[in-house]
Amino acid sequence: MKPARRRLAVLILLCGWAPLAWAQSITERLAPCYSCHGDQGQSFNPDTPSLGAQPSPYLLIQLYMFREKLRNVELMNAAVKGFTDDDLRAFADTLAKLPPPPAATGPADPARLDRGRTLVQQHRCNICHLPDLAGRDNVPRIAGQREDFLVKTMREYKANIRPGYDASMGDVMQPVTDADILDLAYFAARQP
Ligand code: HEC
Ligand code: HEC
């Protein structure tokens, strides 16, 4: 082969193979995440959030905060240790494309759903998280999220244990009582 042709062949090889190799590695690298967060990010694990269909910018910010230990959860600080910025971006983009978690099923108490819906409007959750609670940009999806995780994490915002990327949730939670938190989580977990 002439040198120019060989260079071209190598170039084609690199362009052809690099994305494939990367595609395999991100899938492989997601396997340990799924062991806690559930297959395709649909969590069946207590206190462990589903990740499917979270907005990519939200995921990127949270993964960055775990890596930098701005959000201190040992399991998660360890899970992303040594990740590059490109890794964080690849994980965020891939998880955002997974299907959303299914809404909690089973018989629902209409009175609690009504209280939850009223609280969502009163505290303007639907303004930032959108009317269907699907989130956007740096605001997470809470529709169909695990109820136990929603309760835990709202209590942590209120107690200033969970630092946010901005102060919105700390402020939002101040007037919200623990009984309200339970009804809000009950409602959000049951939204498709
Ligand atoms: C050993 C179990 C475990 C493993 C492995 C794990 N996670 Fe987590 N992850 C958790 C738990 C538990 C939380 C909730 C932390 C909290 O209480 O705030 C979490 C939180 C998160 C969050 C924040 C979600 C939110 O809505 O607040 C993201 C994003 C995340 N994990 C992504 C990943 C990725 C990507 C991987 C793989 C590189 C991974 N996790 C591996 C247990 C795990
Ligand atoms: C001013 C905008 C705003 C309002 C109003 C708001 N949120 Fe949020 N919410 C956010 C942002 C931004 C985040 C991500 C903060 C961070 O970085 O931790 C968030 C995070 C959350 C989370 C964490 C979800 C996860 O996957 O970790 C829950 C749960 C939540 N909000 C519930 C609510 C509820 C319930 C209400 C109404 C009572 C509400 N929010 C009102 C902006 C808002």
Cα(183) to centroid(ligand 1), Å: 24
The predicted pLDDT at position 123 comes to: 98
Q: What is the pLDDT of residue 27?
A: 87
Residues 67-92: pLDDT tens digits? 999 999 999 999 999 999 999 999 99
Q: How far apart are CA 27 and CA 167, in angstroms?
A: 34
* pLDDT for the residue 25: 81
* Nearest to 36, CA basis, from 82, 80, 75, 94: 75
The segments of the chain whose pLDDT lies below 50 read: 10-19
- Position 151 scores a pLDDT of 98
Per-residue model confidence (pLDDT) at position 94: 97
pLDDT of the residue at 6: 56
53 lines ligand 1 (CB under 6 A): no
Ligand 1 atom having least distance to the Cα of 71 = 18
- How far is CA 182 from each of CA 32, 77, 143, 148, 179, rounded to the nearest angstrom? 31, 28, 15, 9, 5
- The protein residue whose alpha carbon is closest to atom 27 in ligand 1 is 49
